[in-house]
Amino acid sequence: ALEHFTLNFTITNLMFTRDLETPNSAKFRSTEKIMQHYIDPLLRRSSIGPQFSGCKVTGFRPGRHRDDTGVNAICSYKDSASLASFDREQVYQELRTMTQGGTRLGHYSLDQKSLKVNG
């Protein structure tokens, strides 16, 4: 069975535009692919890595500032006996470490207070 958790963060150097609100727009699809390119490898290296099955961006939202874009994603993993239980705090700490304290995702800058795992 697949279990799900939410992943949210804010990018501070990606200007939010209205076409990011439209899931079938070219801008949404290309930005979604870029996010998956960065997020999926991090989660594969985390404690849930062997059970991790992927993330899907569910939406982008305007941030507090003009150059901020919020990212909402649903991530999935296989619930199995080898994964004692999903430890939200552990996955959060691992992602913070892998994103330089919650500040970098590839060439994107993150609002270091914005990272949320199932929060």
Superfamily the domain 2-118 falls into: SEA domain (3.30.70.960)
The confidence score (pLDDT) of residue 82 equals 66
What pLDDT digit, counting tens, does each position of 7-55 carry? 999 999 999 999 999 999 999 999 999 999 999 999 999 999 988 999 9
User: Residue 7's pLDDT is what?
Assistant: 98
**Residues 9 and 66: beta-carbon distance below 8 Å:** no
The pLDDT tens digits for 50-63 are 889 999 999 999 99
Output phi, psi for 101, to 5 deg. 75, 25
Picking from 107, 116, 100, the residue whose alpha carbon sits closest to that of residue 12 is: 107
Asked if pLDDT for residue 109 goes beyond 80, the answer is yes
Indicate the average pLDDT of the chain: 93
Q: What angle do CA 96, 44, 107 make, to 5 degrees?
A: 55
pLDDT at 106 over 90: yes
Helix ranges (DSSP H) in 1-119: 26-44, 88-98
Residue 66 has pLDDT above 90, yes or no: no
The structural domains of the chain, with segments of one domain joined by +, span: 2-118
How many Å apart are CA 32 and CA 41, to the nearest integer? 14
